[in-house]
Chain A
């Protein structure tokens, strides 16, 4: 059984650019949730995907968008990057019936916007 894998591990982008982060869910998991963790803070919920549809969203602007694929992997896209988008982006997968009880987090992608 494989865990949650995220790529890339680190990324540096320029303000105004666009970025795509990727997440492969744990085997058997069909729900993917994305969190943003600023330095020295707890993770904040961005959105969740289930059956390729957005299934809940936190307080993030529309320039944060996502996709889920038939194999349950997911992408997080951020357009028009701002300096404050610099953070660790975490993906968590779970089996729907287990909800947040079954959350497994990946190690994250560290995004730096300069």
Chain B
């Protein structure tokens, strides 16, 4: 099956610094990648939709200047949390969509646990 990797798996950073999270589709080309945020025992909240070569589409309430998304290639999307604050601590998960006809299946990465101190 399709594999999506995420790096790093865990990161601890100080308040005010920026953190970059990478999401890669390893064995397929992802026309679209999605970035989610998940709090403990809660659902996946879609933050933004990332299409290769174009600007990301952010969900209502998500600050695009704080959560910078770049989808430079069909296999890589990055999420940069700028000027991180403790309230940004969360589990960030990406998913990739191959875009093949008839299939809307999303392949999820293993997630990144961000802790801001």
A and B, one complex? no
Chain B residues packing against A (C-beta within 8 Å): none
